[in-house]
Amino acid sequence: MLGRLGILTTLPTWITCAISTILKEPAVKLNASFRVQIEMVSRVLVLTILTFSGLGHFLAAAAIRAYAGVCNSVLDVILGMVNWQYASPRPKTVKESP
């Protein structure tokens, strides 16, 4: 649940940070120097890379949690790892002893 919340809040947070970075800098003025404009662009670029790196981490973690495996695939049978990764959707029933 928290992973989904993180995914949903990543993009609005990125947009807010990017806009605040751009509006905070004097680069929006016409007389800003080239150095100031390059600094602003590099800040937004680093912010973008870090944000989408975190988003990729959230998505990878969600995919790993959702992975259930394939029951008795050919590769599992050949390697002798039958039922090693498989998570059955039905719980095992316990037989009562007499």
Whether 27 has a pLDDT exceeding 60, the answer reads no
Mean pLDDT, residues 61-76 taken together: 69
Tell me what pLDDT residue 49 has.
92
Asked if residue 82 lies in contact with residue 76, where contact means CB atoms within 8 angstroms, the answer is: yes
Mean pLDDT, residues 27-56 taken together: 81
Mean pLDDT, residues 79-94 taken together: 62
Q: Where are the domains of the chain?
A: 2-79
Tell me what pLDDT residue 30 has.
64
The amino acid occupying position 72 is N
pTM listed for this prediction = 0.56
Which H or E element spans position 66?
Answer: helix 34-66
The fraction of the chain above a pLDDT of 90, given in percent, is 1
DSSP 96: P
Decide which of 22 and 76 is more confident. 22
